[in-house]
Amino acid sequence: MRIACAQLNTVVGDLDGNLALVREAIRDATARGAHLVLTPELALTGYPPEDLLLRPSFAAASREALEALAPEVTEGVAIVGFVDHDEDCRNAAAVIANGRVQAVYHKRFLPNYGVFDEARYFRAGDGPIVLDVEGARIGIVICEDIWYPAPVAAELARARLDVIACISSSPFHQAKGDARERMLQTRASDSAAALAYCNQVGGQDELVFDGRSAVIDAGGEVIARAPVFEQHLLIADLELDLAAGRRLREPLLRRLEPLADSAPVIIEATLPSASGAPSPVAPVAGPERELWGALVQGVRDYVGKNGFPGVIIGLSGGIDSALTAAIAVDALGAECVRGVAMPSVFTESRSTEDAQTLATSLGIRMDVIEIAPVVDAFEAQLAEVFDGRPRDVAEENLQARVRGTLLMAMSNKHGAMVLATGNKSEMSVGYSTIYGDMAGGFAPLRDVSKTWVYRLSSWRNLEAGREVIPEATITRPPTAELRPDQRDSDSLPEYEVLDPILEAYVEEDLPPAALVERGFPEDVVARIVGMVDRAEYKRRQGPPGVKTTPRAFGRDRRMPITNRYDAV
């Protein structure tokens, strides 16, 4: 059996555009002789559609798109994700062959944790479905259904399948792809059935989908793998006798009672002849390359899908803005990226020089706007209401807010979106100025720690074989330059101490006592935990950014702003 996995980059709500993507993928797969074509979960609507699902017209439009597609599928069998509506919404997979929908499967496990809210929108399915396609027994699952050994996967194993067809929209975070593939290999091996896994690719708001679709044989071996962060049509040829042989040799399956009421749905289909070679097994990307790909994809799709012609970035001469600019250039092209240096009286000359060196390296335009006159004007207007109080963070933050105002003015005038440059370490502890350096439409590094900022910058230079990001920027001690001789270390522990504390508290959700047991100083832990908790109101007002860790701020980690619980 030849199987195709159409790894597509859909857009939520663009039913016409998504339909065109699905239609073209099925045509291409059929031309290459695919007997079974998989598309991602909710391919016709895009994923996740969120509160669009509360509009009855949305489900109706999804069904209309499906009905428009069905008559065109005259060869092979296509499994297409859509929103079904039978007095309630269902996350569904349609089985199309011979020009009509011949079966529909409803997702049974609805994830309702982290970034997922499917129980808010869908009714769960109530049973498995088994297809008979020219004698081959095929079971269908949707994403979360396959993540657990029981009951869905166990029931399919008892159904003595040849192939498990899984359509998915599984978002990226670091190291998830490897873990997901190991899980899929286990499911295939335990079920003694081949497993075809088709995942979405592309960015949708904070989420980025890595793709990495795969076909795994009944012995648990990956025989085809799609590349990450690329639209791709993955083609694999399965020897169905392998699954039948494993079932004869596997004693566990003999001990399992056959699944009751598992009579297959006979699918009437005209199967094409195979043409051309199957796809190779794409190599697995290393951690830096994978994270870089996620950030580039996230920026490209957020900017492009929302119709912005380009981006504007405040270039401070520091590493965060340099890395953000390098990501933006890889995502959009140098012609779509504009840098702005905005020196103040506290800005060292090398900062503007380093920013210019970066702009030259990336091939982007850079403007220089002196902010001292504007800051002076603000301070003059505030002199009376500030009278009698010493200079402090209020005057420091005026500089950041002037910069934010100038960047947003340029955005209004030219239509390009401002990219905020703050990283996760700073966002965690509130080391940022609300309405200042937090201003922008998207924050690519929002879920990237300072440690990873350095790691990615060095990797990008190594990958290019040149200083894409000036080495002087990487080695320079980080500073906000809002007062004389300011350094980040004046306000924060060194990042090699800060980032492990933040990872344990924010991502692992460990209590402060557990951090102290890990060897972190108690006073430092108490201080950092307090900063994280107090900064929630800032983060809530910041721009979205690419989710790259298992627990990102916002959709993942949802803490109340008004909160008197003392974790220390």
Active-site residue numbers? 41, 107, 143
In contact, 430 and 393? CB cutoff 8 Å:
no
Residue 224 CA, distance from chain mean position: 22
Rounded CA separation 50/73 (Å): 29
Distance between CA atoms of residues 479 and 271, nearest Å? 64
CA distance 279 to 180: 20
The gap from C-alpha 364 to its chain's centroid, in whole angstroms, comes to 27
The residues near 332 (Cβ < 8 Å, ≥ 6 apart) are 299, 300, 303, 304, 310, 311
Instruction: State how far the Cα of 311 lies from the Cα of 330, in Å rounded to an integer.
Output: 12
Cα–Cα distance measured from residue 410 to residue 340, given in angstroms and rounded to the nearest whole number? 10
Q: What is the CA angle 498-502-504, rounded to 5? A: 120
309 touches 337 (CB < 8 A): no
Q: What are phi and psi of 463, to 5 degrees?
A: -65, -40
DSSP string covering 271-324 = PPPP-SPPP-BPPPPPHHHHHHHHHHHHHHHHHHHTT-S-EEEE--SSHHHHHH
Q: What whole-number distance in Å separates Cα of residue 363 and Cα of residue 359? A: 6
Query: Interhelix angle for 495-502 vs 450-464, to 10°?
Result: 110
Q: What residues have CB less than 8 Å from 131, skipping those under 6 apart?
A: 77, 95, 103, 137, 138, 139, 140, 264, 265, 267
Task: Give 105's Cβ-side CA count (13 Å radius).
Answer: 31
Buried b (16+ CB within 10 A) or exposed e, 137-147: bbbbbbbbbbb
| Rounded-to-integer distance, Cα 532 and Cα 565, Å | 13
**Closest by alpha carbon to 410, among 339, 360, 329?**
339
All residues at 6 or more sequence positions from 175 whose CB lies less than 8 Å from its CB, including other chains: 287
Select from 108, 183, 179 the least CA-distant residue to 145.
Answer: 108
Query: Where do we find the tokens 């297409």?
Result: 80
